[in-house]
Structure 1
């Protein structure tokens, strides 16, 4: 089994498990059949323009917005299959192999086990609790079945959330089990280093595709620029662009990975911006009440002083990365 640990920023990473081969129709369980049917129905509703007041398209539109708010960590854990008795026995017998691929220049190898362990254990209690509460809430949504024509949306939403938390919980337990047996083979990927570097060197997907592949020297230079922008590890800096998810997915022939990366990048970008806006608000408040000539920023220790917004840091990374690219072209 192949897993990918993809740093979205210098502090947050997405875990993605390569989907195993599709099961034959005869091998599908009842849960598999229900899941496939639900996905097909949802896709059909998204395109249905004939329903009165276009209620199907509206419901799927609001539903997709709600799904975008589900934490990317949950989506990542859901890609890991449940730990079946058969697979558990194969692990204990040493017949199962697990490989964790990651960009070695943008994620230190010694940090990978701790990140994986955190992803495996940190959210288990929360997923279990929310799964139980979703199940408890199902009977209370039963009265909505009396509404004609429109299906019981609250009930199906609770079913989806219970299933989602269950999938994330089983995925986290699978990951925890393999970590406890020291199974993952940590494999730095030169291909991932190249794609990450290209995403920082070039401003668009089209230009990244047309340009030559970054050399190892260029990749190392850009990685150093990113490290400098973290201000000795005190700042969280984006290392993955939203449009770059498609290039990574294409590189490893994993089309489903693209949407996971795009969702994770959007959530991390919003989290970093939100934190910066909150910090700025606090600074403004303290600035208004500070002594003349003294601001809150001035009172901060040197190692935690703000060094610019995420947009400014990203711009500086791109400028320096473009400089690295131009130097490479001259050589």
Structure 2
């Protein structure tokens, strides 16, 4: 497993950027190969059974995707309405929670250190990424400083570990309150299922934050410079084909629109729209990372529009309102 630091924005030119993190346990090619292998028949043999939690998540994902289908009808159009509302609620979940949920402790180094020969052996790999006794933290050196980056990551876990633990129990306590909604005909008990999902989400983020905090405490998160990340964030505008006159006209229109609308956002934002597909391609992120980066960017843009960027920066420096209480 490795972590990739993605700078989002900064309040001032001299301040350290607000950053999100992407946990990567396998390359996109390795995940696709594993999925293809699982889909192929195994000469009559029974395929390996997935863990219970994975099977339940797959069923829930399939059910959710089915709700969003446009080729089916439902009473009061509740399926499509539920899907649209649910997607809006997903976008409101804090990007820090999405980042933590992407960390799978089972794919990272064990907290109880194994024999070094096990960690260094060629078999100790996962999807082409070596399974080391530490976690590399890749970052663009032109934008981020390793010491402050580690401090920001530690502050994130210090704040998020108790936060998600409390929210988990809030959701558990709220589940019985939703029982009367089961009496509504046709429509399932959506508030109950939402609280179940949020409880699972908070619990997963809590365990991941706890795990990451322990790794940091054991000095097993190692900042590593990445020239690839530097090259991506050096792209101030989307790369276009200069030989195409249509592309040239489009670039001119896009540049003019960007320079005249929301100049404050342009000044503060570091993760621009065209950086996301570049990151996906160069770093070989899984497909779900694209949605996480999009949410993080939109949430930071909203903070800039509401003049809350300083507050967000203070939160990253462990001065959030909740930690002061």
In structure 2, relative to structure 1, the CA distance for the partners of 1:277 and 1:168 (3 Å cut) is closer
> How far apart, CA to CA, are the structure 1 residues paired with 2:107 and 2:191?
31
Question: In terms of Rg, which structure is larger?
Answer: 1
CA RMSD of aligned residues (A): 2.6
Q: Aligned residue for 2:231?
A: 194
Q: Is the 8 A contact 1:81 1:174 kept in 2?
A: no
Q: Aligned residue for 2:269?
A: 238
- Offset of residue 83 of structure 1: 5.5
Structure 1, unpaired ranges of 5+: 212-235, 280-331
> How far apart, CA to CA, are the structure 1 residues paired with 2:67 and 2:61?
10
- Offset of residue 110 of structure 1: 2.2
> How far apart, CA to CA, are the structure 1 residues paired with 2:107 and 2:271?
34
Q: 1:251 aligns with which of 270, 282, 300?
A: 282
Q: 1:107 aligns with which of 134, 144, 147?
A: 144
Q: Aligned residue for 1:34?
A: 56
Q: Is the 8 A contact 1:245 1:261 kept in 2?
A: yes
- Offset of residue 209 of structure 1: 5.2
Equivalent residues in 2 for 1:22-101 (5 A)?
A: 26-48=48-70, 49-82=72-105, 87-89=110-112, 91=113, 93-94=115-116, 95=119, 96-101=133-138
Q: Secondary structure at the match of 1:13?
A: strand
> How far apart, CA to CA, are the structure 2 residues paired with 1:209 and 1:114?
38
- The answer to whether 1:8 aligns with 2:8 is yes
- Offset of residue 71 of structure 1: 0.5
Q: Is the 8 A contact 1:103 1:193 kept in 2?
A: yes
Query: Greater relative contact order: 1 or 2 (C-alpha under 8 angstroms, separation 6 or more)?
Result: 2
Q: Aligned residue for 2:218?
A: 181
In structure 2, relative to structure 1, the CA distance for the partners of 1:117 and 1:63 (3 Å cut) is same
TM normalised by structure 2 equals 0.70
In structure 2, relative to structure 1, the CA distance for the partners of 1:60 and 1:186 (3 Å cut) is same
Q: Aligned residue for 1:233?
A: none
- Offset of residue 26 of structure 1: 2.9
- Offset of residue 54 of structure 1: 2.1
> How far apart, CA to CA, are the structure 1 residues paired with 2:86 and 2:2?
30
TM normalised by structure 1 equals 0.69
Q: Is the 8 A contact 1:2 1:100 kept in 2?
A: yes
Q: Secondary structure at the match of 1:155?
A: helix
Q: Is 165-174 or 118-127 further displaced after alignment? A: 118-127
- The answer to whether 1:266 aligns with 2:295 is no
Q: 1:156 aligns with which of 169, 193, 215?
A: 193
Q: Aligned residue for 2:23?
A: 17
- Offset of residue 27 of structure 1: 4.8
- Offset of residue 163 of structure 1: 0.5
> How far apart, CA to CA, are the structure 2 residues paired with 1:151 and 1:115?
42
